[in-house]
Structure 1
Amino acid sequence: MSQNSTMQFTIPSHILAQELAGEVVLMNIDNEMYYSLNSVGSQIWQLLSDRLDLETAIEQLLRRFDIDEATLRQDVTQLVDELVAQGLLTVEQETV
C-alpha cells in the first residue's frame, strides 16, 4: 500500500493489544492468531494507536532513535503495511 503521510490508523474492535515487558502482544480474536512486536515495533504501534498521523509518528521516532530518515520511513512503512495486511490496523478514511 502506498502510504500518505497524513494517513491515520485505527485498531479494529477484534484486535486486543497488551504491553508485556516493553513489547506489545496482539491478538486477533476473530482468528485467534497472536502477534508480537519488538520494542521498536511496539513504539510504532503505540504512536499509531494514539491516533497520530504517520508523519507525526515518524517525526517522534526520529527524535528517539539515531537513524537516518529514509531508513526509518522505509522500516515504518513496511511494518504498517504488514499490520494492515494482517488486519491489525485499518486505514482511517479521510472525509472531504
Structure 2
Amino acid sequence: MKQQTINENFSVVQATDVVAADMDGETVMMRIKSGMYYGLDDVGSRIWELIATPRQISQVIDILMEEYDVERSKCQANTLELMNQLYDEGLIKIA
C-alpha cells in the first residue's frame, strides 16, 4: 500500500531485506519478506548502485545527467517513477 509519494528532495537507500545480483548489466532482485522477484535494466541497475548508501534523489538525477545523454525533465520523471515503484514494493526505504 502506497504510503507517500517520493520526490527528489527525499533521501533513499536500498532496503535491507533485498538480495540483488548483477546479470550482464541488469539487476535481478528478490525481496526476502515476500519472495517476489524484480528486474532492473541497465539504467535502473545504475540507480540501484547509487542508492546502496543513503543518497538524495536529486543527487542521483545529477549523476545520471552526467553519465547519460538525456533531457533533465525526462531523467527526473523516469527516476522518480522508478523510485516510487521501488518504494511501493518495499525495495527501498526513506533514509
Instruction: Using structure 2 for the length normalisation, give the TM-score.
Output: 0.88
Aligned residue runs from structure 1 range 7-86, under 5 A: 7-86=10-89
8 A Cα contact 2:11 2:55, kept in partner: yes
Q: Which amino acid aligns with 1:24?
A: T
Change (3 A) 1:49 1:25: same
The structure showing larger relative contact order (alpha-carbon pairs under 8 Å, at least 6 residues apart) is 2
Q: Look up the match of 1:3.
A: 7
RMSD: 1.2
Cα distance in structure 2, aligned partners of 1:14 and 1:66: 33
Helix, strand or coil: the match of 1:79? helix
Q: Confirm or deny: 8 A CA contact 2:11 2:57 kept in the other structure.
A: yes
TM-score with structure 1 length normalisation?
0.87
> How many residue pairs align between the two structures?
91
Task: Please tell me the residue identity of whatever aligns with 1:25.
Answer: V
Secondary structure of 2:70's counterpart equals coil
Structure 2 gaps of 5+ residues are none
Unaligned segments of structure 1, at least 5 residues = none
Q: Following TM superposition, by how much is the alpha carbon of 1:9 offset from its aligned partner in structure 2, in angstroms?
A: 1.3
